[in-house]
Structure 1
């Protein structure tokens, strides 16, 4: 007698993974070789209210993975998405608006050298995870996007990456406010997903609000110590500068004044773009995250 194999198989009862609670506040950024900066950026923003971070990796070959895994081991919610296409930051951010919609209510779009800060926090002795939330409209509001003007900091006489981090090392900036960065209600994003990196188009019933600088600003540590700035500028993921060595579009904000068209340190670089001394975030982060050592303060993100 020949035994015919059965086509019926036992399948144990499947247990669905418990869905994760939707986060009110998330942040996304696109990066390339920013291992030395990411920890400070994540720890600062997590402390003031960001619950989940979505990192678009533009093909890094530094220690970025190690930093991400280290943050995750410390219970920071960080997800890394490989985004191999160069100079497609808009596409990546549009992807984040879709990818993050089921996980996040609001999404903050900032670079890792940009730190959201409110002057009203200066008198706070300790940070709160409600700080960023306080900058957003009420649940009943039809505001779908809140934008904050940017303050661009210069090299501040630094010659290398500051040991205490960018918020401690760069304290002198340009006076003029620059273009804004935004926190977006993902359900309000228009279906075309049109984005100019700094803001999205919204559905017709929603409004876009630009915050007053006394409510909140973005400290943009853009013009850093020369070796850091030079590396950053050569690896730009900007959508606008195709080849920074070509003499084209010289007035573009993305070309960054002071560099020109050759990777040569401009004369007087350490003092460039220093028009206003601004110590507010330095003092605040030192108060919140620093602890005394023999030769000064050591910051929480220093290892």
Structure 2
């Protein structure tokens, strides 16, 4: 029986059919609002670990992201789409799957305060993903980082300024974010997870199926550094920006709750990876 829903489903399937080789093996999708100060470091880092293209959704930044990309010379690697309004996270992700999914074997869906940390020998994310090609997606566990007792926004690299994180057992670390194969995705479900086509699912690094937005923390071969707090000043700015995946407003109490638990462990894994990548480039 004909219906618009069936037609839309067929259209989505045709757009994400990857019987032909994709232009990119790995891309990242992200929705942002007034986070221009962090763009360059986030883009530079993820390019170093093997990300080839970025789909950035501008949720109403005062200075358009497209202008920032041109200013820092990144337009070649970034596709910017304007998507103003509240509660746009899932809509942005679905738009990316529908319109750009055919162009990438894998797309990671993360935020600007999240950095993917592959722990394989070459710190190469595409290489790590190869063994998961038979699955719909790879779920990444959060490790929430704290303020390092910074009150005001410190100058320089956030990766160098914020090196202390929560214990693995900190409950919010059970959130997962996903790197998915668009051809196996049925739809974006929440900002943390996707619905997959029959026969496919999201798994953790040890191939344990993940059903939903939460899973036991597993960070042996890959982790997702979540710079949730940064400094107190930066968190206040985050409160003012609002949240793109819900109409709920952040509260300063959330900073104090997370920060009180997120300076427990010194974790410089990401800095060691950057040193390793620099050494590889110089050889």
- Scaled by the length of structure 2, what TM-score is found? 0.77
1:29 is matched with 30
CA distance in 2, matches of 1:256, 1:105: 40
The one-character-per-residue Cα deviations of 1:148-199 (angstroms, maximum 9, x if unpaired) are: 1010000012233343321111011111233111101000011xx1421112
Q: How far apart, CA to CA, are the structure 1 residues paired with 2:253 and 2:143? A: 14
- Of 183, 187, 195, 1:201 maps to 195
Q: 8 Å contact 2:58–2:64 — kept in the other structure? A: no
In structure 2, relative to structure 1, the CA distance for the partners of 1:133 and 1:80 (3 Å cut) is same
Q: Which residue of 2 aligns with 1:278?
A: 267
Q: Secondary structure at the match of 1:102?
A: helix
Aligned counterparts, 1:207-246, within 5 A:
207-211=201-205, 212-244=218-250
Partner SS state of residue 138, structure 2 = strand
Kept in 2: contact 1:118–1:214 (CA 8 A): no
Higher helix residue share: 2
SS of alignment partner, residue 55 of structure 1: strand
The verdict on how the C-alpha distance between 1:29 and 1:204 changes in structure 2, with shifts beyond 3 A counting, is same
User: Residue in 2 aligned with 1:67?
Assistant: 68
* Closer, same or farther: CA 162–258 of 1 in aligned 2, 3 Å: closer
CA distance in 1, matches of 2:151, 2:238: 15
Over residues 5-63 of structure 1, what are the superposed CA-to-partner deviations in whole Å (9 max), with x where a residue is unaligned? xxxxxxxxxxxxxxx96111110100001111011111111111111111100010136
Q: Which runs of 5+ in 1 are unaligned?
A: 1-19, 246-254, 261-265, 291-303
Match of 1:178 in 2: 174
Q: Does the CA-based 8 Å contact 2:185-2:195 persist in structure 1? A: yes
Q: 2:208: which partner in 1?
A: none
Q: Quickly say closer, same or farther: Cα 1:286–1:35, change in 2 above 3 A.
A: farther
Larger Rg: 1
Instruction: Quote the Cα distance in structure 2 between the aligned partners of 1:174 and 1:241.
Output: 27
* TM-score when normalising by structure 1: 0.72
Structure 2 gaps of 5+ residues are 1-20, 206-217
Seen in structure 2, the aligned counterparts of structure 1 residues 220 and 230 have a Cα distance that, compared at 3 Å, is same
Q: Is the 8 A contact 1:189 1:203 kept in 2?
A: yes
Other-structure match for 1:113: 113
On the 8 A contact 1:90/1:239 being kept in 2, the answer is yes
Whether contact under 8 Å (2:242, 2:249) holds in the other structure is no
Distance in 1, Cα, partners of 2:231 & 2:64: 21
Corresponding residue of 1:257? 254
CA deviation after TM superposition for structure 1 residue 236, in Å: 2.5
